Amino acid sequence: MIYKMCKIFTLLLSFLFLTGFTPIISILGPGVTVLTSGNIYKATAQFIIDQSIKKKTGKNSLTLVKEELNKKNNKKNFNDELRQLVEKRIKITRKEIENQNFQKLVKKRITITRSIINLNNTTR
């Protein structure tokens, strides 16, 4: 038990000195992973990935993931708004077409009725 604690303590100190005195907060996450799961490889991978993301983007991994999720949600909201707008325009266009068809039908009925009335007047 004491040997395992010494081993973990030595590993944590080596992280501190070998990384150029990286802020202790960045070591805290992998340290907790080592202590809770006992998986040193997982903790090391977590630390390395977080550091590489920070070098490439200047943001930590949590902020990067949060921003990406916000972008996807904004895009989804845009798609929903676009769909609602198109559906609204389709309904308006259908009403206009129905009105045009109704007006054509009424005009046709009127001409037929006038022709019938004129025929009846001529035969009398």
| 124 residues of the chain, pLDDT tens digit each | 888 888 888 887 777 677 665 566 666 666 676 777 767 777 777 778 888 878 888 887 778 778 888 887 777 777 778 888 889 999 999 899 888 888 888 898 888 888 888 765 655 4
Residue range of the domain that includes 18: 1-58
Residue 58 dihedral angles phi and psi, to the nearest 5° = 80, 5
Q: How many domains does the chain have?
A: 2
Does residue 33 sit in the same domain as residue 67? no
- Report how far residue 59's alpha carbon sits from residue 70's, in angstroms, rounded to the nearest whole number: 15
Does residue 78 sit in the same domain as residue 97? yes
Does residue 53 sit in the same domain as residue 83? no
What does DSSP assign to residue 120? H
Provide the whole-model pTM. 0.34
